Every structure is written in structure tokens, then in C-alpha cells.
Structure 1
Amino acid sequence: MKIITMTMLALLWCSIAWANTADTFIPTEVRSVTVYRSGAQVYRSGSGQVPAGQSIIKFTDLSPAVTPSSIQFSATGDFTILSVNFQRNYINPLENSVEAKALQSQIEGLDEQLRRLDVEMQVLKEEESLLLANKQIGGQQTGVQLQDLQAIAEYYRNRLKAIKLESLDLEQDKQQMLKEKEKLQQQLGEITGRMKRGISGEIWVKVLSERAVDARFQLNYLVPTAGWTPSYDVRVADIGEAVDLDLKGDVYQSSGENWEGVTLSLSTGVPTEGGVKPNVQPWWLAPYEPVVYYDARDQMAGKAAGMGIAKEEAESRDYASPPPPPPPPPPPAEYASVEQFERTTTREYRISVPYDIPSDGKPYTVAIEKYELPATYQYYVAPKYDQDAFLTAKVSGWEEYNLLSGPANLFFEGSFLGKTQLNTRQTSDTLELSLGRDKGIVVTRVKDDQYKDKQFIGSKETRRIGWKIELRNTKSKAVNILVEDQIPISTSDEIEVTLRNDGGARLEKERGRLTWELDLKPGASRTLNFQYEVKYPKRMELVLE
């Protein structure tokens, strides 16, 4: 009881100490952001005056998703930093909103100008009424000289005209200001609605200074509700030319604060994964005993408590994730300069052009880098499954760029072919890309009727099957073609498979794969034949074609 009392007194003393300290609000702006594959480090800066004595510097209108342990704070000035704390403002997220305050200030300024316009218009209206009320010239007994009448008439005409024109100008100015005010009110309404739906984050820094000093502040923190995914545009102008690989980043964030005109850096690191290596612990084996439990609900209802065996159930959670990026627009003619920094375990791309990334969770495409990679081209045909030829590009030298796996848009000869997946986790030093179908290579696969036989010897049945593959190059260029087919593989000692004619193919026995690699000149044709024999018990039913 004594310990609890002491703890409560300590907490109360801390609360009183914070409450009795003067508050100073310092506005800050997001200057730069390092976006990780998952999470983002936000860098803010601002300046202001630190008052004499002990005070609390409050940095408001921040993301409520800040990871408190990630906050780093620094400042320049002759004062002492006592503590740094993160708070969430659940009461009034609009309070101290820099953006909302700026809009409100503009609206108030327009209101003041509108009031002045109304005063000027009212004065002109009174002057017009005064002129119109004194139209009678001279007395009833005496007339007015013509020269005086002309002068008075000219004065009335000029003055009334000036009043009307000035009133018209003032009315136009008023309408323009009203439109501008309406626009500002809409913007303020959007901010108000957005902030009222959520909460705001605040960083409170307690400082001690002997005198009032000017200072500059820098703070940065991690927000987990952001990230980026790599995507690519793969462009091939023609066979024989290098592959143009455009690396892009689809950046998203829903941190609660907009990033406007910030310097972006995209990092391949994932700080949310943690960096502590695992330790292998002893693996003790013991008999598994099911957990017996009693159904307390039946017992409470007046029934005999039932017995059951507890089952382990895997619970799946549907965690929120950014929507898939829409098909990206065509890339610009030139890329902004990007600096690459290779750290010990990650790579970082610093984008030179400022970007706006709203806090709406939508992906925004950022151009990162363009690579020109050497490639060799080959057509691939698997006529048993598809009688179209597929153009493939085998790209070398890609591993030196530390690329990430991701979706890619394929463009060949200026046309969009479709999407594919770039898998950079493969161990091969050659990256193979499928560039789509090419109808210029005609392929057929038919049975070879000259090698078709069925025999019965004792309890065994022997089937002989042959296939004929024909290829024709209708293109104006010579092509290299890789053809793959197969023979069946036995899974029983009672089934015997024999390749009688490989047709010049290379056989991979473990997989039953036949491979031909050949060159076809423009207009040339080639026929490939292979035959195999299967011996098996007559009682078996096998699919041999």
C-alpha cells in the first residue's frame, strides 16, 4: 500500500510539473521522407523562440501513427533538452493545426476587406442620394443663367457617372472576394472533416533556458502506415537490341499527414521486420496430451458439463494493405536524376524532384531509374500445350543493380503486350522475360501415322507412338528456337518406357523432357520426329498421348 501511494504521488507530481510549465507552439514542415518497403521515416524542421526558464515546446498537427520509440529530436540553440514525449490529441485535433490556422487567417482577412468594401459602397450610395435630392436649381422667382446651368449639369453628369463606375468596380471586387472566400471555406471544411474523423499526434519537448533564444528544431519519426512497392516497364524496340528496364516505385501512405513538396528517398529496407537474429533452441520431444476442458456454459445452464478435446485452429486475419497499383502512365521522356546509396544491407534511391504524396492510401508512381541491359533473344515452343511461339529475352548483368521482385509491364516494338512478374530471387545469373506470342512462327504437332502400333505378348501390351512437329519461319529475320516436348515417365516396375527415336533431341531422363535448339532462316521450315514405346500389363488403363 505504501509503494502504491508513493507511485501515485510521483505520477501526480510529474503531471503537476508538466501542467505548470509554459507552452510554446512551434510549427514544422515535412522536408523529406525516407520510404521503406514497409514504413516511412518522416523528417520535419522548424524554427522559433525558446522562452527563458523551463517550458514545453509543442510540435503539433503530426501523424497519430508515430512510433514513439523511433522519435529523434535535435535543436540548435543555447538551452537544455530535459525530456521528449509523444502525445495523441483525442480532444481537439484541429487545435494548433497550421494548415487550418492559415486558411482561417486568410478568411478573416477577406472578411475585413469585404467590410471595407461595404463601407465604401455605402458612402457612394449616400453621395448619390444627396445629389439626387438636390436637383432643384435656383429659386422660384429667379431663373438660372444658361452658363451656370450647363456647368451644374456637367458636374451632375460627371459625378454620377463616377459614382456608378466606382460602385460597379467595388461590386466586382466584392464578388471576386466572395468567390475566393467560398473556395477557402471549402478547403477549410475538408481539413475540418478530415481531422475531426481522426486524432492528431504531438511531440512535447521540455526545455530549460537561462534566457529567451532563437532556435532551429529537427525531428524525425517512423510511421508504419506507409511503404512502396517496385514495378517495372520492360521495353524492347526490336530483336537484337538491348532491353530498356524502367524501375518505378508505387508509394502509398495513410499516416494522417500530407507530404507536400517533399524530397523522397526510397529504401529497400524493412525496419518493421526487426533485425535481431534468431537463436536455435533445443527441440525437446515429448508425448502430446490433448487438453481436456469442460463446457462451462452447459454447467451454468443446469446441464452436465460436457467434455471435449481442444483443437488448435489457425486464425487468419485480413490485414489492411494498399490497393494494387493501377496501370502506370507512359514514362516521361527524361528521368529526374536519382542518387543511389548502397548501405551494408540495403539500397537507397534519392529522388531529386519534389513529390506530393497525400495521406489517402492510394499508390503514387515515382520514377526511379532507367537501365539498359544486354539481352539475347530466343523463341520458345512447347507444342504439346500451346502451338504458338513465345519470344523470350535472356537478360544478363541484372544482378549488379540489386533489383527487387515486382510486376512489370511489357512493351515490344512500341505495343503493350501485357503484364508479367519479375522474379529477382532466382539463383541464375540470367533473367528470362517472356515477351509474348509471335504468330510469325507457325507450329504444328500431329501424330506420326507411320509409327503407330499396338501389340499383345502374353500378359503385356505394347504401344508404339510417334509425333511429328513442324516449324516454319514466316518472318524476314533468322530466328533461334527452343522446342520442348516430352515422353511419359514410369512410376512402376511393371511399366517400361523406351525412347525409340529422339529425333536429335537432348533427353532429360529424370523429367522425360526432350529439347531441340535450332536456327531457322527467313521462310525456312523444319520437321522434328520422335517415337517412344510403352510396355505395361493389359489390365492397366494408361493415358499415353
Structure 2
Amino acid sequence: MPFNSIHRAFFPFTHNSPGSSPGSCALRGRPSGRSRGRVPRTFEASLLRRSAGILAFTASSLLASTALAEDFNPQSRIGAVTVFPEGAEITRQAALEMPAGAHRIVFERLPDGIRPNDVRVEGLADGNLVIQAVDVARVPVTGDPAQTNALRKEREELGDNKELLEGRIRTAEVQRQMIMMLVRPPAVPKDVALAQPPMPPDQLFAFIAERHAEIEETIRKAQQDIRDIDRRIAEIDRELSRTSGEQEWASRITVSVNAQGDVQGKLRLRYRLRDASWQPVYDARLDTSAETAKLQLTQRALVRQHTGEDWNGVALTLATARPQGSTAAPDVQVRYVGFARPVPRERAMGGALYDDRSASAEVAAPAPEPEAVMRKEMEESRAAVTDLGFDAVYSVPGLADIPATDDSRLVLVGDHDVDSKMEARIVPAVREAAFLTVSFSHKGAAPLPPGTVRLFRDGVFVGEGHLPLANPGQKTELGFGIDERIEVTRRLVSKQRGEEGIFSRARTDTNDWRTVIANHHSVPIDVVVLESLPQTLDEKINVSPLSTNDPADESDVDGKSGVQAWRFTLDAQGERTLAFGYRIDWPQGQNVVLGMR
């Protein structure tokens, strides 16, 4: 405010007299005589005093408004955690109460490794509270000198107490030896014994028993106190070594806010950390006593974390999404094919032109620069990390405690009772055994992610397997081990090798098997037998099934060429024999190799 304005505002009773200079002041009415010349100076002095008061008031107001800005360190606790297959999102909650003004809310000693882009702040307040900025800093963790001195003093006192207890034990052991001397008193001269009559035996034994019990209790109590002291000393030594060892780091998050008035509210701080993970595990319990197989699937999660802070009493959520994975489809790269070029001698001999690439990669590179092609292939490899194709969230019931020790903690997700079908699956060419296989369709709202499954058959643990990804409505199979009550025998009844033809000689190889399946159960059981008819890789090789083969019920099972299946129900105590064989023809002078893919 200009000086004249202040003057006019606070002195309405003044005016400028004719001929006076601007800014001079006079009372209404004309002052007399001598006092006329001093009037302006008097009012000027008063005006200066009043102006100084106004300036002082303005400055104090500015200082007061500045003093309202302060740092708040609210008490916060972890309320909820969402764990991903790689990483976790932690939600901290804090209560706020602050006056009007600009303030900073500081969260100290958070785990190291929090990135600024992984922090989100939100909340509710009963007034106008605006979040202006969020800053993340990596700060060293310094020990408290007062706490360190207190620990050292405590350790010294514990050492003194331990010495006192050890001395008490030594004294008690001497007393115990003296008591034992009363049981076997030393020989004394006869005249001395007559002068000092001995204590009656009953009193002597009672005295010895009482004193011996007191001594033993003293020793036991002292030893127990020493063990407690040793444990506490070990804790202090670990704490001192931690504070005096390698520099530790922590994250500090500062939230700048502006409150239009006194506000109360709750703040939620979310941040992501990498040092956490979860993987699904299952228990599959099969009951074969019922007419239809009953399968109960218990879903659990194996959670571990070493973020630097314990998760105690948190609402735990498990998510199948991978925030750190690829979110966009990879680019399709142009591929080339060409004739191999000779490798330069310098590269082949490891000369100056050799750049640590393999010879096979260099030969396979066509006309474009080999270095560019190699770089594209490496990019494709990095982009090959894909998600499971779905996002599911599992809320763990109740509150969970997950310590930051990197130890696995098993939490229950839920149970699933599924309708299943049971059959004995036999692959006689690989193993003469029947494997109990259960197929089911998952009817839950969310898919079941793949994971390790522990298998129980009629309450007996039979081993571990792997549960593939089970989408809702999709058929899924689990193997429950060998069924010992189904006997499988496979034998080669005919094997012939020879040559045929007059003008064009050809070689032949004929194999004919019989597989016998016997059901020793007291109930019928469904059986599926799988055999593989070899597939040719050259048109000069011919493979044909034998005419004696039993007709297969299904060919090219699961899209595998040549795989045939026989499905039937085997009665209780029943038996069936399957015939399977094939003949291979190829030109003479060639060698045939039979393999698997």
C-alpha cells in the first residue's frame, strides 16, 4: 500500500492547506502562532510510528503464515498387499490431522529400491486437501549414537551380572562339596569324638537334604539367568555389528500437500517392490470308492518376500498379472534365407576379424549384414517373455502374516469340488503299467494357474505332479500314479526281416505285438491304450499297419500323427488282448533309423 494511501486511510481528519506541499498534514481549523510550524513534524512522527506498526503487523502476519508450514511424520502401517508372480504392491495407511497451510508428509525408513514411478498417493479428508507433489529419495540409514551407547552400556552391565552369577555358582558348588563331607565325615580322634557328640541321624539327613535342595536350586537359577544373558548379549552384538557394518540404505517418500483449512483424513500410500513373489500349489485328493470318481482340489499359494519390512496382519491379494512383463505384442521381424557364404580365413582361425560370434550364426546369415540379423534375433529373445493370457485376482480370506525372511509361507486360497472322470491309461511300448488318469473341467470363475500339485489317492500320498493351466470349461488331466490292480503284459509275437523283389530289391522289417490287460479290481474300469505307428520322413520309406491289428477307436490323438487309441471298459476280473504291429519297407542299400520326436 503506498504511503499516502496509508496516510489517508488512517487520518481522515486532515487536509492539505493552500500553498502547502503535497503530503503535508494539518488539523482542521488554523493553528495559532508558534505551533503552526511544528504541526507537520508532529504528525509526520506520528505517521512514521503508525506506519512502522503496520509494517511490523504485516511482517508478523507473513511469519505466522510461514510458520504454519511444517513436516509431519505420521504413524503408518501396512494394511494391504497385492503380490504378483514377480513383485508386490504395498498399501500403507496413515491418519492425518493438520492445520491450514502448505505441509510435507514424510514417510521414513521405507524399504530400499522404491522407484518414483511406482508410488501412488490417495486418500480422504473432511476438508480441502490437495496433493501437490510426491518425491522419492534414497537415503542412508544412520544409527542413533544414543541408542548405540545404550546398547554398549547394557552389554557391559550384562557382562558384570554374568560374572556375579558365575561366582554364585562356584560358591554353591563349594557348599555342595561340604554337604557331601557331612555324609562321609572324616575320621577324628576318639577322645575328640567323645567330647563332641554327633548330630542324631534323622536331623543330619534332614539338614543335608534341605541344604542340598537349596544349593541345586541356586545353581539351576543362576545357569538359567546366564543363558538369558548370553542370548541378550548375542542380540546386542548383532545389532552393533549391523549398525557398524556396511552402509544400509532406505527410501524416503515426501508428500507435499496444501490444506485450505484444518483438516483430518486418511492417507493411502502405495508403492511396488520387486523382492516378493508367489506361486500356486495344489492338493488333489481323489476318492475312488464312489461310483463316480470324486476329486477335491485345494488351491494354495506359496508366498515369499524379503522386501525389508514384515507384513503383519495384512489383507493379502494374489494376482496373476505381471506388471514387469511385456504389455505390447512384439514386432514381427523380416527373416531372410540364402546360401551359406564361406567364412573368412581370419575369422575361422580366430584372427583379428573374429568378433566372438559362433561360426554357425555367421554361416546362416544371408545377404543383409550378419551383425544386424544377430541383433534382431536377440531382441526377439528378450520379447519372448509372455503373460499367461489372463488376469485373475485371489483374495486370501482373513489376515496374513508374511515375514521378510524369504521363507515360504503357505496360505489357503480356496477349495474346488469338481466332477471328474477316471480311466486307466496304458502306453505299453514305453512301460507295462496302467496309470490312473483323472480328467475334469474347471467350473470356477477364474482360471487355475499352472503349478505343482500333491496327489492323494484314497487318502494316501502317491507323489507330486504338475497341474497345467486350467481355464473355465477346459478339459484338464491329472495322473495319479500306477494302478497296481491292473496288470499289463506286452510281448513281441513276431519279428521278421528280409528282402523282397526280383529286379528292385527292397528290405522289410515286420513287428507284431500282443498286449494283455487284466483288471483285478472288483469293479469295472475304463481303459485307454495308446500305440504309435511310425511316420516316414522320406517317400522311399513305406510304413503300413498289419492286417491283424485291432481297429483303433481314434487316430492322431491330440494332433500327434500316427498315435492311435483303443478305448473300452474292462469288467471286474476281466481281461483283454490287443494286437498291434507294422511293416517297414525301404530300398536296399539304405539304413533306416527308428526314432521319436
SS of structure 1 residue aligned to 2:324: helix
Residue 111 of structure 2 corresponds to residue 63 of structure 1: yes
**Relative to 1, partners in 2 of residues 1:179 and 1:24: Cα closer, same or farther, differing over 3 Å?**
farther
Aligned partner of 2:516 in structure 1 is 470
Match of 2:285 among 218, 231, 235: 235
2:486 corresponds to which of 441, 445, 461: 441
* Aligned-partner Cα distance in 1 for 2:492–2:120: 73
Relative to structure 1, the CA distance from residue 60 to residue 376 in structure 2 (aligned partners, 3 Å threshold; closer, same or farther) is same
Counterpart amino acid of 1:503? D
Query: In the alignment, what sits opposite 2:441?
Result: 396
Q: Is the 8 A contact 1:454 1:463 kept in 2?
A: yes
For 2:169, the equivalent position in structure 1 comes to none
Q: Secondary structure of the equivalent of 1:272?
A: coil
Q: Secondary structure at the match of 2:551?
A: coil
1:355-370 to structure 2, matched below 5 A, reads: 355-370=400-415
Cα–Cα, structure 1 residues 529 and 243, in superposed 2: closer, same or farther, change >3 Å?
same
**Using the alignment, how far apart are the partners of 1:389 and 1:67 within structure 2?**
55
CA deviation string 1:314-342 (max 9, x = no partner): 999xxxxxxxxxxxxxxxxxxxxxxxxxx
CA distance in 2, matches of 1:508, 1:66: 56
Which of the residues 219, 244, 268 maps onto 1:218?
A: 268
2:93 maps to 1:25: no
Do residues 486 (structure 1) and 532 (structure 2) align?
A: yes
Provide the residue aligned with 2:15 in structure 1: none
Change (3 A) 1:419 1:73: same
Letter in 2 for 1:468: R
Q: Residue 500 of structure 2 contacts residue 508 of structure 2 at CA under 8 Å; is this kept in 1? A: yes
User: Could you say which residue in structure 2 is the equivalent of 1:246?
Assistant: 298
Match for residue 497 of structure 1? 543
Distance 2:456 2:93 in 1: 43
Q: Is 423-432 or 396-405 further displaced after alignment? A: 423-432
The aligned length equals: 419
Q: Is the contact between residue 224 and residue 272 of structure 1 (CA under 8 Å) also seen in structure 2?
A: no
Superposition pairs of residues 117-136 of structure 1, within 5 angstroms: none
Q: Secondary structure at the match of 1:69?
A: helix
Q: 1:411 aligns with which of 456, 464, 477?
A: 456
Q: Quick one: distance in 1 between partners of 2:315 and 2:253?
A: 22
Question: What TM-score do you get using the length of structure 1 for normalisation?
Answer: 0.65
In structure 1, distance between residues paired with 2:126 and 2:227? 44
Asked if the contact 2:71/2:106 (under 8 Å) is kept, the reply is: yes
1:55 CA drift (Å):
4.0
Match of 1:521 in 2: 571
Question: What displacement does 1:56 show?
Answer: 3.0
- Richer in strand (by share): 1
Partner of 1:328: none
**For the pair shown, which has the larger CA radius of gyration, 1 or 2?**
2
Considering Cα pairs closer than 8 Å and 6+ residues apart, tell me whether 1 or 2 has the greater RCO.
1
Instruction: Give the TM-score of the pair, scaled to structure 2.
Output: 0.60
Q: Which amino acid aligns with 1:394?
A: S
Aligned to 1:508: 555
Q: How well do the aligned residues superpose, as a CA RMSD in angstroms?
A: 4.5
- Please list, as runs of the form range in 1=range in 2, the aligned pairs for 1:300-339 lying within 5 A after superposition: 306-309=352-355, 311=357
Map residues 236-315 of structure 1 onto 2, 5 A cutoff: 236-238=286-288, 240-273=292-325, 275=327, 277-278=328-329, 306-309=352-355, 311=357
Maintained 8 Å contact 2:447/2:472? no
Question: Quick one: distance in 1 between partners of 2:82 and 2:408?
Answer: 16
CA–CA distance in structure 2, aligned partners of residues 495 and 427 of structure 1: 44
CA–CA separation in structure 2 for the residues paired with 1:209 and 1:532 = 86
- SS class of match (1:392): strand
Amino acid in the other structure paired with 1:270: R
Alignment check: 8 A CA contact 1:453 1:465 kept: no
Shift of residue 48, structure 1, vs aligned partner: 5.2
Cross-structure match for 2:204? none
**Equivalent residue for 1:421?**
466
Output the CA distance in 1 between the equivalents of 2:99 and 2:582.
93
Residue deviations 1:491-533, cap 9 Å, x none?
3333332222222324637733332112111211111123433
Once the two structures are superposed, what CA deviation does each residue of 1:201-246 show, in whole Å capped at 9, x if it has no partner? 2111234457776554321111122121111111112162321111
Partner of 1:200: 250
Question: Which residue of structure 1 lines up, in the alignment, with residue 95 of structure 2?
Answer: 47
How far 1:489 moved relative to its partner?
A: 2.7
Larger deviation: 367-376 or 46-55?
46-55
- Contact 1:46-1:216 within 8 A present in 2 as well: yes
Contact 1:471 1:526 in 2 (8 A): yes
Match of 1:457 among 490, 498, 501: 501
The answer to whether the 8 A contact 1:67-1:224 is kept is: no
Report the counterpart of residue 72 of structure 1 in structure 2: 120
Residue matched to 1:36:
84
Report how far residue 441 of structure 1 moved. 0.7
- Identity in percent: 22
Q: Is the 8 A contact 1:452 1:466 kept in 2?
A: no
The amino acid that maps onto 2:106 is K
Q: Describe the SS at the equivalent of 1:401.
A: coil
Alignment match, 2:35: none
- Give 3-state SS (helix, strand or coil) of 1:203's partner: strand
Shift of 1:465: 2.7
What amino acid is the match of 1:41? E
In 2, distance between residues paired with 1:246 and 1:231? 9
Q: Does the 8 Å CA contact 2:106/2:252 hold for their aligned counterparts?
A: yes
Offset from partner CA, 1:105-152 (integer Å, 9 cap, x none)? 9x99xx9xxxxxxxxxxxxxxxxxxxxxxxxxxxxxxxxxxxxxxxxx
- 1:248 and 1:403 map into 2 onto residues whose CA distance is 11
Amino acid at match of 2:550: G
Q: Which residue in the other structure is 2:180 paired with?
A: none
SS of alignment partner, residue 504 of structure 1? coil
The alignment partner of 1:349 has SS state of strand
Counterpart contact for 2:488–2:516, Cα < 8 Å: yes
Are the counterparts in 1 of residues 441 and 472 from structure 2 also a CA contact under 8 Å? no
Q: Is 2:350 the counterpart of 1:350? A: no
1 CA distance for matches of 2:437 and 2:475?
A: 12
Stretch moving more, 239-248 or 70-79: 70-79
Residue type of the alignment partner of 1:362:
D
2:39 corresponds to which residue? none
Deviation at 1:479, TM superposition (A): 1.0
Change (3 A) 1:185 1:35: farther
2:428 to 374, 379, 383: 383
The separation in 1 between residues aligned to 2:334 and 2:581, in whole angstroms, is 53
Kept after mapping to 2: 8 A contact 1:398/1:431: no
Alignment partners' CA distance in 2, 1:535 and 1:211? 94
Q: What amino acid sits opposite 2:417 in the alignment?
A: E
